[in-house]
Structure 1
Amino acid sequence: MTDYANVGTTTPSSGRMLSDMEDVHEDHEQPHPIEEEQEEPEEEEGVMLALDSPQIQAALEACKILVIGAGGLGCEILKNLALTGFKEIHVIDMDTIDLSNLNRQFLFRPKDVGQPKATVAAEFVMQRVPGVKIVPYFGKIQDKDDEYYSQFQIVICGLDSIEARRWINAKLVEMIDEEDPQSLKPLIDGGTEGFKGQARVILPTINSCYECSLDMFNKPTTFPICTIANTPRLPEHCIEWASVLEWPRVWGKDTKYDTDNPEHISWLYRTATERAEKFNISGVTYSLTQGVVKNIIPAIASTNAIIAASCCNEVFKIATGSPYLDNYMMYTGNDGIYTYTFQHQKKPECPVCGQIAASAELDREMSLEDLIESLKERPDVQLKRPSLRTASKSLYMQAPPALEEATRPNLEKKLEDLIEAGEYITVTDVALPVSIQLKVSWKE
């Protein structure tokens, strides 16, 4: 593996980059005689090398990159990395190309609709950029094991899913071996939301990880059950009714719809349309149904381009041993162009990279059900269906059904009847890649 720390320490003072500038002027007048008499300056110490220098080319060729996501951000990232000079790139995406993607995901064409994004994007870039090898995988990041992820030097994310980000963040932290420096895989994460975006550099176990900053992200918009059940007024109310109330009634509460399954989305769309017609509500569309159930924020091509460029710039700096972002850049393009970079602090009690358990000062009179609801409202963990247990017993388990039924009576019990001060509660959840440890103390 190339020693990136020693790359990028000298530069020719002439500052030639990418190509010989003489070629541009071959049809113009010759330079002034005084310029012809100047001697070529000697190399001197500097801060960076020309992009076409052998040292930088060697560093880029030795660096194997994993790109997660081949959508709006992913297309930009793949193009940027290939044109920068990285020679081996792998890309993972579980989605297929939809007609609505074509306005901003420029690697795709109408003939590609229905095809895997990862496969089409890889083939397109390899056709346009000779010498680059892009290996696609059509599937989930959870399909791959530690051995797969260990082959890469850098991982870069262009995802629209918080759950997927949390999973890969936890996986890279979990893979750290203090005896093996190569087990540390820098994670470059980009995200966009309309005219806003962010790019960040995560060094697992060293600086703030994705889970440390979870409370910075807004929780998905929700609607009161009474409104969607009785007095819907918006197309979103009808879609929520179809997904929250009708789906479990028709298919069973243990059967969860898959937001990436076109058949499931089509069922929700048809059901929401029937509901909307009953209440004379217009505006229910297939794309809106997708947007509501997947909490999709409209994407803007210019924002994707800016954030992808920032992410790829950080990848290039890490690969060539240059100073990189420390560690969080926020971008806003609503009323102009504004960026702000700051160091997000690592949380000692972070469930993924922290070293200590979070303390929980609880009311001994509150019920276990109230505790579970309060955990679901916490912005720093964003739980969906938490299960709780102590070292000696299960307090409440969401699954399997037999265990859920056995622990259900505990929901109405007071906490002081179930646990003692100083005990640890282990919280697991489908939305959480690892467990949370809560050290209990009582409010006085």
Structure 2
Amino acid sequence: MKDWNDRWSNINKYLDRSGPYTDPGFKPGEQVKSFLHEECKVLVIGAGGLGCELLKNLAMMGFKDIHVIDMDTIDVSNLNRQFLFRPEDINKSKAIAAAEFITKRVPGVKVTPYFGKIQDKDEEYYSQFKIIICGLDSVEARRWINATLVNLADMDYPETIKPLIDGGTEGFKGQARVILPGITACYECSLDMHTKPVSYPMCTIANTPRIPEHCIEYASVVEFPKAFPDRKVDTDSVEDLTWIYQCALNRANQFNIEGVTYQLTQGVVKHIIPSIASTNAIIAAACANEAFKIATNCTSYLNNYFMYMGDNGIYTHTFELDKKDNCPVCGFEQIQMTINPKLKLKDFIQMLMDKPNISIKKPSLATPSKALYMQAPKNLEMATRPNLEKTLDELVDESEEVVVTDPSLPISMHIGFTYSLDEKIVDDVVNA
């Protein structure tokens, strides 16, 4: 559809002329407007509370080629804040329903949906976009797309650097950030800043549960491993969450506790903090503004972290998050560790899982010559399981490199060892 006269008059006020706050490289005129409307293909990951706001904002700001990915379907509980959806949309794909709404409501804007996981797409798919914006509630998904874009970036070819704008909310708090893969701090650099999930004492959930969350946690960490000893809970599996919900409901009935629902079960198992519409709107607006600034170069974009704390009044704060040299995703190619050679492999794996700057869940380890421990397939896991009780010096020479892979990341980490028998030594992760 052809634009009518003055359709973008408000937007053009920023694009038709320079001003005291415009970026030195900004060139006003028809070329930048044409790029915004016709060439700037944008991907929105997530069509929930943040995603709905983002899609609306981007469409109204002049972005006409928008893609959206979401693996969830619409639940009745979404309708109070995810305003693109209606009661008749319940059980439909969020991505498809949101795309249909925007396409119908904003003439000339094309929104292409994908109902599925971001992991279903490859680097070629992500390389087609100029900007990628995340409106996710999953740390694992953020880490995956961050690592994918860092891996895609080649400093010799600027067009391979895909700006990633990440938004997130927790109740009345929120953040927006701009990540330039390979240049600025990436998402992995800030993992140790995350709020630790709420945990409940085992003695309480096992013996004297008092609230619905105790019953859900008991079903998740006690009953599920008993019923399924060979695997962990898949937080994205409807079957797993339904099993936990039913188990928690039965336990709640035993202790006369009310309030166990499927939605609450999702929140406890996935550590989701309830979303608030006003916070979503503020953070989505901040993310959309950054996308507009990056696309048009009309003013400097955020450098690089914006925080909103609505529980302390309307308070915002910005700062520059520094890139970490020892980041396993955007740092140097090899991580060097000084470590006791008598450490058992199983303890080393647990140490990797506990380190906030690595933060992996199901690592598989190998050297160039042999597999140390593989999580899958089952026959390989069984074949390498005896290595868990062996010490590092039995398995790895000091000159060898250990390659670590994990389902949560699309890249591998390379670790080099320096052995030391000093009892006071604390494993020191530095760059090689």
State the TM-score, normalizing by the size of structure 2.
Answer: 0.86
Query: Does the 8 Å CA contact 1:351/1:434 hold for their aligned counterparts?
Result: no
| 2:354 maps to amino acid | E
Alignment of 1:260-279 (within 5 A): 260-279=236-255
Aligned to 2:71, which of 90, 94, 103?
94
Output the CA distance in 2 between the equivalents of 1:307 and 1:53.
Answer: 29
Instruction: Tell me the CA shift for residue 120 of structure 1.
Output: 1.0
SS at structure 2 position matched to 1:131: coil
Output the CA distance in 1 between the equivalents of 2:19 and 2:257.
Answer: 69
**2:349 corresponding residue in structure 1:** 372
Output the CA distance in 2 between the equivalents of 1:224 and 1:426.
Answer: 36
- Rate the CA distance shift 1:286–1:390 in 2: closer, same or farther, 3 A: same
Aligned to 1:69, which of 28, 46, 50?
46
Aligned to 2:403, which of 426, 431, 444?
426
| 2:168 maps to amino acid | G
**1:30 corresponding residue in structure 2:** none
Output the CA distance in 1 between the equivalents of 2:30 and 2:311.
Answer: 41
Instruction: Tell me the CA shift for residue 395 of structure 1.
Output: 2.1
Output the CA distance in 2 between the equivalents of 1:333 and 1:18.
Answer: 28
Alignment of 1:24-39 (within 5 A): none
Instruction: Tell me the CA shift for residue 366 of structure 1.
Output: 2.6
Output the CA distance in 2 between the equivalents of 1:408 and 1:274.
Answer: 36
Output the CA distance in 1 between the equivalents of 2:18 and 2:366.
Answer: 63
Unaligned regions of 5+ residues in structure 2, if any? 1-8, 423-432
Query: Does the 8 Å CA contact 1:365/1:414 hold for their aligned counterparts?
Result: yes
SS at structure 1 position matched to 2:80: coil
Query: Does the 8 Å CA contact 2:398/2:417 hold for their aligned counterparts?
Result: yes
Aligned to 2:181, which of 192, 199, 204?
204
Output the CA distance in 1 between the equivalents of 2:98 and 2:43.
Answer: 14
SS at structure 2 position matched to 1:268: helix
Question: Does residue 1:303 correspond to 2:247, yes or no?
Answer: no
Output the CA distance in 2 between the equivalents of 1:79 and 1:156.
Answer: 13
Output the CA distance in 1 between the equivalents of 2:165 and 2:289.
Answer: 10
**1:34 corresponding residue in structure 2:** none
Query: Does the 8 Å CA contact 2:67/2:112 hold for their aligned counterparts?
Result: yes
- Rate the CA distance shift 1:45–1:188 in 2: closer, same or farther, 3 A: closer
**2:143 corresponding residue in structure 1:** 166
Instruction: Tell me the CA shift for residue 346 of structure 1.
Output: 1.3
Instruction: Tell me the CA shift for residue 240 of structure 1.
Output: 2.4
Unaligned regions of 5+ residues in structure 1, if any? 1-15, 21-42
| 2:247 maps to amino acid | T
SS at structure 2 position matched to 1:395: strand
| 1:217 maps to amino acid | H
Query: Does the 8 Å CA contact 2:151/2:411 hold for their aligned counterparts?
Result: no
**1:289 corresponding residue in structure 2:** 265
Moved more, 63-72 or 174-183: 174-183
Output the CA distance in 1 between the equivalents of 2:394 and 2:365.
Answer: 15
| 2:78 maps to amino acid | N
Instruction: Tell me the CA shift for residue 103 of structure 1.
Output: 1.0
Query: Does the 8 Å CA contact 1:166/1:433 hold for their aligned counterparts?
Result: no
Identity %: 61
Question: Does residue 1:329 correspond to 2:329, yes or no?
Answer: no
| 2:186 maps to amino acid | C
**1:145 corresponding residue in structure 2:** 122
Instruction: Tell me the CA shift for residue 304 of structure 1.
Output: 0.7
State the TM-score, normalizing by the size of structure 1.
Answer: 0.84
